[in-house]
Amino acid sequence: MVINFNFTSAPCTIFGEGALKKASPYFNRFGKKALIVTGKIITKAGLTSQVQNMLSELGIESVVFNDLPGEPDDIMINNGIKVYKDEECDFIIGLGGGTPLDSAKAIAAMSVLPGKLADYAGKEMSGAFPPLVLIPTTAGTGSEVTKFLVFTDTATDAKLLLKGEDLLPDLAIIDYNFTISSPETITIATGMDALTHAIEAYTSKRANAMTDMICVDAVKRIFENIKLVVENPQNKSAREQMSLAAYEAGICINNSSVTLVHGMSRPIGALFHVPHGISNAMLLVECLRFALDGAKEKFADLGRAIGAASYSDDDDKASVSFLYALQDLTMALKIPSLREYGIDLEKFENSEEKMAQDAIASGSPGNTCKIVTKEDIVSIYEILRKK
Ligand SMILES: [Zn+2]
Supply the CATH number for residue 260's domain. Answer: 1.20.1090.10
Q: Would you place residue 70 in the very low, low, confident or very high pLDDT band (cuts 50, 70, 90)?
A: confident
Determine the longest span between alpha carbons in the chain, in angstroms: 64
52 occurs within a structural domain: yes
- How far does residue 171's CA lie from ligand 1's centre (Å)? 21
Domain boundary among 127, 159, 179: 179
pLDDT beyond 80 at 182: yes
Same domain membership, residue 149 and residue 188:
no
pLDDT per position as a tens digit, 114-131: 999 999 998 999 999 999
Task: Give percent of the chain above pLDDT 90.
Answer: 94
Task: Give percent of the chain above pLDDT 70.
Answer: 100
Domain hosting 138: range is 13-179
Same domain membership, residue 173 and residue 30:
yes
Same domain membership, residue 254 and residue 361:
yes
Q: What does each C-alpha distance from 374 to 111, 241, 354 come to in angstroms?
A: 36, 37, 10
pLDDT beyond 90 at 1: no
Same domain membership, residue 237 and residue 141:
no
pTM over 0.85: yes
247 occurs within a structural domain: yes
- How far does residue 283's CA lie from ligand 1's centre (Å)? 12
pLDDT beyond 70 at 378: yes
CB 162 within 8 A of CB 148: yes
168 occurs within a structural domain: yes
Domain boundary among 179, 207, 242: 179
Q: How many domains does the chain have?
A: 2
Same domain membership, residue 193 and residue 294:
yes
Burial of 220 from C-beta contacts in 10 A (0-12 / 13-18 / 19+): middle
Same domain membership, residue 227 and residue 133:
no
4 occurs within a structural domain: no
Domain boundary among 126, 158, 179: 179
Helix locations, the chain, DSSP H: 19-23, 40-44, 47-57, 74-86, 98-110, 184-202, 209-231, 236-256, 260-272, 276-291, 296-305, 315-332, 338-341, 345-362, 374-385
- How far does residue 320's CA lie from ligand 1's centre (Å)? 24
Q: 171: helix, coil or strand?
A: strand
Q: Give the mean pLDDT of the chain.
A: 96
Q: What does each C-alpha distance from 135 to 98, 147, 186, 240, 277 come to in angstroms?
A: 10, 15, 16, 15, 19
pLDDT per position as a tens digit, 260-299: 999 999 999 989 999 999 999 999 999 999 999 999 999 9
pLDDT per position as a tens digit, 291-320: 999 999 999 999 999 999 999 999 999 999
State the pLDDT at residue 237.
98
- How far does residue 97's CA lie from ligand 1's centre (Å)? 11
pLDDT beyond 80 at 351: yes
Same domain membership, residue 216 and residue 87:
no
6 occurs within a structural domain: no
Same domain membership, residue 220 and residue 135:
no
- How far does residue 196's CA lie from ligand 1's centre (Å)? 7
